[in-house]
Amino acid sequence: MKIAMVGTGYVGLVTGACFANSGNDVTCVDIDKAKIEKLTRGEVPIFEPGLAEMVLQNVEMDRLHFTTDLAVAVANAEIVYLAVGTPQASDGSADLGALWSVVAGLARHLPPTAITVVKSTVPVGTNAKVYERLRELTDRDCEVASNPEFLKEGAAIDDFTEPDRVVVGVRSRRASEVLEELYRPFLQPDRPFLAMSPESAELTKYVANALLSTKISFINEMANLCERMEGDINEVRRGIGYDQRIGFAFLAPGVGYGGSCFPKDVRALACMAEEHGLKGQILRAVDEVNSLQKHVLTDKIEQHFGDDLLGRTLAVWGLAFKPQTDDIREAPALVMIDRLLERGVNLRVFDPEANANIRALYGDKLQYASTALEALNDADGLAINTEWSEFRQVEFETVKARLKSPLIFDGRNLYEPDQMRRHGFVYYSIGRLPVGVRGKRAPADCASVTQNG
């Protein structure tokens, strides 16, 4: 099929590349001339495993094209995807300015039989408004569908090519059949194509992200309770996770969620609920718990050092909001950096992919290490914000030798308390008693009679 992809951000680029890779002729369009020039050369501006190779391969095979000319992109297109950004507005709602600008420009060039598909995350009812706007501007009925994305940064290509399900919101059987044919290479009996109303499809995206966010905030609040009551959140997590009604997914304690989706989608759904006379109490609580959780690790640092923080040097591992991405949007590390800089702490930071993005934000306020070990040199302690795999497997004696003090603040529970105790570390984590801190008893050693989960 001939596809136009309007927007070459994270969603648009991954979607366009994957459709091209399955044999379609895809033209991506963006107003950013510099970005388009880079993409035409096969240079990908974001880090996503496997994406750069896929883009380059399909550019070379002449199946993936890039342009700044909307008319060229949509000429003879059978499907036009709208994948422009919908950032959070000041009141927490979604800002649709870019979307409406594209719709106005698209109407002048839209082929009569083309299906316009809204891929951007938009408030419920936007599909209907796009339909009405296109009918106003073209003086004809235009087919408008919705196709929310469920891509995890760091695993986006796998999520696209092996989806749990494909959700589309349609008004006609023809639109459903065309989109099902487009997605056929990725469908299996246990990975269904779900056609529903546009409003239900729009809601599905928000509800999915809100529920996952709720699980994260819930386990984090329980982790904080475990610390107060001398429990261990990892043991509690095993105790509940084997219950098939609950499971383990999205129940890993940490320093909160970030990124471009969960924070803004929870707030936007709360705004929608309130606009329709509901309080959105759970959604507001989820967002508040997450905002507070981003401070938990810094609280531990401040409590440990007390009034002796000024002039200290701390190593910080992990700057992206999650591993396998360079995305720092709403990353918990930003909260820590801002607070510790205010306290006069020197920060030496490292992330396998996000150093450049942090440097663009903070400049010379921070020291930037080229390796994880380099960040440790003569630091008063180490703080971990992101669970990159390379941080999990380390030589603890080497870490200890490089640090001025054997002190770790672990915001992702990468290590086991017994392991830290054996190596002589003072160790703080999330939802577990600290190691090597006076007045905090160690839990009984019952590893021989428990099953790890």
pLDDT tens by residue, 301-358: 999 999 999 999 999 999 999 999 999 999 999 999 999 999 999 999 999 999 999 9
Q: Is 271 a catalytic residue?
A: no
Residue stretches of the annotated binding site for NAD(+):
30, 35, 86, 121, 153, 264, 329
Q: Which domains does the chain have, with CATH numbers?
A: 2-196 (3.40.50.720), 197-453 (3.40.50.720)
Q: What region, left, alpha or beta, does residue 277 occupy, with left being phi > 0 and alpha being psi -120 to 50 degrees?
A: left
Q: Per the residue annotation, which of 18, 28, 226, 261 is the catalytic one?
A: 261
Tell me, what's the pLDDT at 42? 82
Q: How many residues does the chain have?
A: 453
Tell me, what's the pLDDT at 377? 97
Tell me, what's the pLDDT at 89? 83
Residue stretches of the annotated binding site:
30, 35, 86, 121, 150-153, 205, 250-254, 258, 264, 322, 329
Low-confidence ranges of the chain (pLDDT < 50): 444-453
Residue spans of alpha helices (H) in 307-407: 332-342, 355-362, 372-376, 389-392, 396-402
Residue stretches of the annotated binding site for substrate:
150-153, 205, 250-254, 258, 322
Name the strand (E) or helix (H) holding 301. helix 296-305
Quote the CA–CA distance of 425 and 245 in Å, as a whole number.
38
Quote the CA–CA distance of 249 and 176 in Å, as a whole number.
31
Which residues are 116's β-sheet partners? 80, 144
Quote the CA–CA distance of 443 and 423 in Å, as a whole number.
17
Share of the chain above pLDDT 70, in %: 97
CB-count burial class (<10 Å; 0-12, 13-18, 19+) for 186: middle
Quote the CA–CA distance of 7 and 13 in Å, as a whole number.
8
Angle, CA of 128, 116 and 114, to the nearest 5°? 130
Using CA atoms, how far residue 147 sits from 198, 292, 348, 370, 379, in Å, is 9, 33, 42, 40, 48
Tell me, what's the pLDDT at 445? 45
What does the DSSP assignment read for 108-140?
A: TT--TTPEEEE-S---TTHHHHHHHHHHHHHSS
For residue 437, give the nearest of 413, 451, 417 by alpha carbon: 417
pLDDT tens by residue, 51-64: 999 999 999 999 99
Quote the CA–CA distance of 260 and 9 in Å, as a whole number.
11
Whether the model clears a pTM of 0.75, i.e. scores above it, the answer is yes
**Cα end-to-end distance, the chain, whole Å:** 46
For residue 273, give the nearest of 398, 124, 419 by alpha carbon: 124
